[in-house]
Structure 1
Amino acid sequence: MTERVYLDWNATAPLRPEARAAMLAALDAGNPSSVHAEGRAARALVEDAREAVARLVGAAPRDVIFTSGGTEANVLALTPALQVGADTAPRDRLLVSAIEHASVRSGGRFPTNAVDIVPVTPDGLVDLAALAARLEALAVENTGIRPLVSVMHANNETGVVQPIAAAAELVHAAGGILHVDAVQSAGKIPCDIGALGADLMTLSGHKIGGPKGVGAVVLRSAAIHVSDPLLKGGGQERGARAGTENVAAIAGFGAAAAAAARDLAAAGPAMATRRDALEAQVAAGSPQTCVIGGAAPRLPNTSLLAAPGLKAETALIALDLAGLAVSSGAACSSGKVGASQVLAAMGVPPAIAAGAIRVSLGPATTERDVAAFVDAWNGLVRRLSKGGCGIAA
């Protein structure tokens, strides 16, 4: 049987040993809201994890709200009911970039007519001039408007890293709040909420080697408050998210966050070296292949490859049969291979976008893994692709 090579770390990272051990140790924990010894022990596990997640993104532990994952975290954060200090007036307009995750593009809890889409450049970077123009236009239309803006830190399909600090300056100058979906960037590149200028940040446990089904909203400071929780009830998570905490999953998330922070300085450059070698070998063996978003700053582990005439469905099946696990883009569509809204927003020709394959590496990816993919990909492109890519790499 062909040995499997896993190159879909952006979909989910394999469970870290530290996370597995923490989860097993927490499975028999009590209810963290109980005041007896068993409850206090469970509460300690939750709070230790909160500290670890906070450290990963440079936040204070009290400003971490645990959720069931990145999607719930995004929907919790994207609400008109965001208060900043004494300012309790609701946010009345949501601006999101055209390349956001579906849970952000859907607008959270804003009505459809209150959501604006901000375009991106052909390189996949949020168009800062367009963002500034829209914020200025909103101010002219209504001088009292309080916008909420959502721009992801790094795109899950292309790996392109967004100019968050520059976006934050524009948003704050307009009196707005900035939400940053950091699900893909946390644990791969530095992701400090203060340095980025984000007001709210969302994370997901399974993207950093923790379990699935746990995530977090992280606030820049205690001055920011979600006054209308998505889940109402018992008052857990300081009233921001009701329901008994999933102690085992949260413990695993915390252990993964601590391990990711520990390994960040070494893991990032190592993955970039492997990624660059993969792209160089692909360019040499199948020069008609293009790297979408390759001219922009990217996550160190992500390559989005395409070749003219190649269909994603065909490529995925062929690569899977060759023992390679890759993706056609976001892993959030119930196994469907469909048109990418990210690539459409970038203006990638449909004939190229239809064959885009995402290769995402991890800390455990080896040179042999890279070589196995390069051999399979180059052979596939030589058999099935015709012509040149036609877009800038």
Structure 2
Amino acid sequence: MTVLSRPSTGPIYLDYNATTPIDPAVTASLLPYVSDEFGNPSSGHHYGRKPRTALAAARNRVANLIGTSGQRIVFTGSGSEANALALCGVVRAAAVERPHVITQCTEHPAVLESCRALERNHGVDVTYLPVDGEGMVDPAELTAAFTSRTVLVSIMSANNETGALQPIAELARITHEHGALFHTDASQLVGKLPVDVVALDVDLLTMAGHKMYAPKGIGALYVRAGVSLEPLIHGGGQEHGLRAGTENVAFAVAFGTAAQRAAAALEAGEPERLRRLRDRLHDLLREALGDRVMLNGPLRSRLPNTVNVSIDGVRGKDLLAEMPGLAASTGSACHSGQAHPSVVLTAMGLSGRRASSALRLSLGRWTTGEDIDRAAEMIGSSVLRAARVSTV
């Protein structure tokens, strides 16, 4: 895959898990569908033909990225909407009195808040599984949580803060043995590592365009054949009858192009390139700061682009404020500006002090070795400068 030039200048960007820049090739692909090819894809006349064809092609490209067919892809307005459709759709379609759902305590807020809404508004019972010190779910804990009323398990594929990769195929197998459906929020995984929904044996899988170089405002839900969902939005029957409303053709085309480019990047070895840069960043920080740098999450079973470290003696929020030349985060972008430590890190058993000292550094398509060297030097210098000031 040809890697185009960096889309913008400014601070070093190491916050790809929050959102990705739109790939220039993706932008180019969507422009005709906000200008000349403006037609409604449901229209039978001339102006509807190209949008309809483009929408079908985009659906197939997204499907190809995860090893399925376009008939199984439902475009949504975001990953959060796809999660809500999966959770609420299964529960509302279930022929079970007081359905039971199982998830984990470190899920993205899009899943956790959907579960809480189901508890609050629909009388659903929800079990929130704990995680261990690396953020991993114990399959035995899942097995023990099932009841005769369990209709759905929802466990994210890759954690957005630590990059921890859950054993999705094993968890899906256990779920099916107990007669329930399995959903995974794979927004952080798809495009970063190969994904095959057949091998994973999942029933529902969430994707988000803005996590893979497409615009914000487009997501998708994979729905396995035979899975019954109650739509959140009723109307004209678009998206296989699961999401009414005239389709956002331009952003669907963008998502399709992004999926096509992601497949090419995976084939070209992008995960290994990012893994090398990620480990180089971690090693440079350890060289500069020694044992003050503590990795949060698993060493091996994590996304190739993600390193979450706590640096003893300095709050992550304060450190970032001292480095205007680096764009990174202390955790999920959905919690930015909040004073309390990361829910994910505290659920892993980390102290409030260590959780407050965390930095999430996530790499992507335009990250270079020079970026990594400069970021490591910037972080190391800022930490050492803060230590000197504190001793004066």
Provide the TM-score with structure 2 as the length reference: 0.90
Contact 1:80 1:92 in 2 (8 A): no
1:205-354 alignment, distance < 5 Å: 205-220=209-224, 222-226=225-229, 228-265=230-267, 266-287=269-290, 288-319=292-323, 321=324, 323-333=325-335, 335-336=337-338, 338-354=340-356
Structure 1 residue 363, shift from structure 2 partner = 2.1
Counterpart AA for 2:283: A
Q: Does 1:125 align with 2:129?
A: no
Q: Could you say which residue in structure 1 is the equivalent of 2:68? A: 59
Residue 90 to residue 275, structure 1, CA distance change in 2 (3 Å): farther
Structure 1 residue 4, shift from structure 2 partner = 2.0
Q: Could you say which residue in structure 1 is the equivalent of 2:108? A: 101
Cα separation, 1, equivalents of 2:27 and 2:280: 32
Cα separation, 1, equivalents of 2:339 and 2:331: 8
Cα separation, 2, equivalents of 1:271 and 1:374: 15
For structure 2, list consecutive stretches of 5 or more residues without a partner in the other structure.
1-8
Contact 1:304 1:359 in 2 (8 A): yes
SS in 1 for 2:221: strand
Q: Does 1:40 align with 2:44?
A: no
Counterpart AA for 2:119: P
Structure 1 residue 241, shift from structure 2 partner = 0.4
Q: Comparing 108-117 with 209-218, which one deviates more in the overlay?
A: 108-117
Counterpart AA for 1:271: L
Cα separation, 2, equivalents of 1:207 and 1:153: 14
Counterpart AA for 1:25: P
Structure 1 residue 341, shift from structure 2 partner = 1.0
Contact 1:124 1:296 in 2 (8 A): no
SS in 2 for 1:107: helix
Residue 189 to residue 337, structure 1, CA distance change in 2 (3 Å): farther
Structure 1 residue 196, shift from structure 2 partner = 1.2
SS in 1 for 2:382: helix
Counterpart AA for 2:30: M
Q: Once the two structures are aligned, what percentage of the paired residues are identical?
A: 40
Residue 156 to residue 318, structure 1, CA distance change in 2 (3 Å): same
Q: Could you say which residue in structure 2 is the equivalent of 1:188? A: 192
Cα separation, 2, equivalents of 1:100 and 1:302: 17
SS in 2 for 1:45: helix
Structure 1 residue 336, shift from structure 2 partner = 3.8
Residue 316 to residue 338, structure 1, CA distance change in 2 (3 Å): farther
Contact 1:149 1:171 in 2 (8 A): yes
Q: Does 1:79 align with 2:78?
A: no
Counterpart AA for 2:25: E
Q: Does 1:111 align with 2:119?
A: yes
Cα separation, 2, equivalents of 1:270 and 1:32: 39
Q: Could you say which residue in structure 1 is the equivalent of 2:4? A: none
Work out the number of aligned pairs and report it: 372
Q: Does 1:70 align with 2:73?
A: no
Cα separation, 1, equivalents of 2:266 and 2:218: 21
Counterpart AA for 2:370: R
Q: Could you say which residue in structure 2 is the equivalent of 1:377? A: 379
Residue 335 to residue 37, structure 1, CA distance change in 2 (3 Å): farther
Residue 296 to residue 114, structure 1, CA distance change in 2 (3 Å): farther
Contact 1:189 1:264 in 2 (8 A): yes
Q: Structure 1 residue runs of 4+, over 4 Å off?
A: 87-91
Counterpart AA for 1:77: A
Cα separation, 2, equivalents of 1:82 and 1:40: 36
Task: Give per-residue Cα distances to partners, 1:199-237, cap 9 Å, x unaligned.
Answer: 1000000100001000011012x21121x2111112111
Structure 1 residue 73, shift from structure 2 partner = 0.6
Contact 1:316 1:327 in 2 (8 A): yes
Counterpart AA for 1:64: I
Contact 1:154 1:185 in 2 (8 A): yes
Cα separation, 2, equivalents of 1:118 and 1:4: 38
For structure 1, list consecutive stretches of 5 or more residues without a partner in the other structure.
387-393
Cα separation, 1, equivalents of 2:385 and 2:298: 24
Residue 214 to residue 335, structure 1, CA distance change in 2 (3 Å): farther
SS in 2 for 1:224: coil
Cα separation, 2, equivalents of 1:88 and 1:303: 43
Structure 1 residue 91, shift from structure 2 partner = 8.1
Contact 1:304 1:356 in 2 (8 A): yes
Counterpart AA for 1:56: L
Task: Give per-residue Cα distances to partners, 1:34-62, cap 9 Å, x unaligned.
Answer: 11121121111111110010011112110
Q: Could you say which residue in structure 1 is the equivalent of 2:29? A: 22
Provide the TM-score with structure 1 as the length reference: 0.90
Residue 18 to residue 195, structure 1, CA distance change in 2 (3 Å): same
